[in-house]
């Protein structure tokens, strides 16, 4: 397969094949609900949908989302070529019905049917690594959950949230409560403590690439991840906000540096359709 074909296949998998850890989380959520309950009906539909999408290679959600390609490249890699291959792959995947016509010119409101505007869409992020091959992670995140992502600047008086982990906890529960079912619960929280505003959103979103069973290597963050996961369920929001026992499938938190004057807590809310896959591309 050439580079473009490899990336089309990555898109096909990401849009149609929910990662096994996320599917496992959904099945566990379903098992916790009573048969014939509202949450059970929602989760049954979601799980059947996951099976159909995988079997038929069709998008699991019609909002095929913002496509973000995270390229890890060796020094000297041809990033221009990689980015144009990603653009071409998006064009082809759209023509094949793997992606919806999902890109709008913000000024005119008209549809950019190809989903490609070089340098703008899809999003391509590059970083160097020691290995000799190129690794590509693709994340597809839809608009419903993006609309409930949010950022807090601490201290926050209304939440009585100070500049410490207790303050972070208050922000995160408040974010889940505010999202209700709008972000297509049960969702996943990607969280960044610190950074500037722009960096916070970027780092929070990247946390969504972590598998659900991955715990933070920082003990206090791992503890906070577990606590939020448990407390969010007790809010009772449930699948699609119809009430139920599982509100979140995972919480992934990272902490970065910050300026003395700023303390941002940034939340990337991901819907249950946590679409992420990766591929390694050998030299040449």
Segment contacting other proteins (CB under 8 A): 69-77, 175-183, 193-201, 213-221? 175-183
Nearer Cβ to other proteins (159/278) = 159
For the chain, how far is it from start to end, CA to CA, in angstroms? 11
Helix (H/G/I), strand (E/B), else coil: 274: coil
Q: How far is Cα 96 from Cα 205, in angstroms, rounded to an integer?
A: 27
Q: How far is Cα 149 from Cα 114, in angstroms, rounded to an integer?
A: 26
- Choosing from 2, 108, 110, 217, the residue that interacts with other proteins (CB under 8 A) is 110
Nearer Cβ to other proteins (21/83) = 21
- Choosing from 78, 105, 236, 259, the residue that interacts with other proteins (CB under 8 A) is 236
Rg over alpha carbons for the chain, rounded to the nearest Å, is 19
- For the window 180-219, what string marks contact with other proteins as x by the rule CB under 8 A? xxx-x-----------------------------------
- Choosing from 46, 139, 224, 281, the residue that interacts with other proteins (CB under 8 A) is 46
Buried b (16+ CB within 10 A) or exposed e, 257-275: ebeeeebbbbbbbbbbbbb
Helix (H/G/I), strand (E/B), else coil: 201: helix
Nearest to 213 by CA among 238, 188, 247, 237: 188
Query: Does 45 interact with other proteins (rule: CB under 8 A)?
Result: yes
Query: Does 77 interact with other proteins (rule: CB under 8 A)?
Result: no
Query: Does 111 interact with other proteins (rule: CB under 8 A)?
Result: yes
Nearest to 10 by CA among 282, 275, 283, 284: 275
- Choosing from 160, 197, 226, 280, the residue that interacts with other proteins (CB under 8 A) is 160
Q: How far is Cα 271 from Cα 144, in angstroms, rounded to an integer?
A: 8
Name the minimum Å distance from CB 156 to other proteins: 11
Binding site for other proteins (CB under 8 A): 16, 36, 38, 41-42, 44-46, 48-49, 52-53, 56, 58-64, 96-97, 99-102, 110-111, 113, 142-144, 147, 159-160, 170, 173-174, 177, 180-182, 184, 231, 234-243, 271-273
């Amino acid at each position: 397969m050439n580079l473009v074909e490899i990336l089309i296949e990555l898109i096909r998998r990401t849009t149609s094949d929910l990662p096994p850890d996320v599917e496992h989380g959904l099945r566990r959520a379903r098992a916790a609900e009573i048969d014939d309950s509202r949450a059970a009906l929602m989760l049954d539909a979601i799980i059947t949908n996951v099976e159909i999408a995988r079997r038929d290679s069709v998008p699991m959600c019609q909002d095929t989302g913002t496509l973000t390609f995270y390229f890890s490249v060796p020094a000297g890699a041809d990033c221009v070529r990689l980015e144009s291959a990603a653009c071409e792959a998006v064009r082809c995947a759209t023509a094949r019905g793997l992606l919806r016509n999902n890109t709008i010119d913000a000024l005119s409101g008209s549809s950019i049917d190809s989903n490609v505007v070089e340098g703008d869409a899809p999003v391509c992020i590059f970083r160097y690594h020691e290995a000799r091959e190129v690794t590509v992670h693709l994340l597809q995140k839809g608009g419903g959950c993006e609309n409930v992502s949010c950022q807090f600047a601490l201290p926050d008086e209304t939440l009585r949230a100070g500049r410490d982990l207790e303050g972070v906890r208050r922000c995160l529960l408040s974010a889940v409560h505010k999202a209700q079912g709008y972000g297509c619960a049960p969702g996943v929280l990607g969280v960044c403590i610190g950074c500037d505003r722009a960096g916070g959103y970027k780092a929070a979103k990247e946390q969504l690439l972590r598998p659900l069973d991955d715990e933070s290597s920082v003990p206090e963050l791992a503890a906070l991840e577990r606590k939020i996961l448990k407390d969010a369920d007790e809010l009772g929001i449930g699948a699609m906000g119809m009430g139920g026992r599982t509100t979140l499938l995972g919480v992934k938190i990272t902490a970065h540096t910050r300026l003395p004057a700023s303390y941002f807590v940034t939340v990337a809310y991901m819907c249950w359709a946590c679409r992420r896959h990766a591929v390694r591309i050998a030299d040449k």
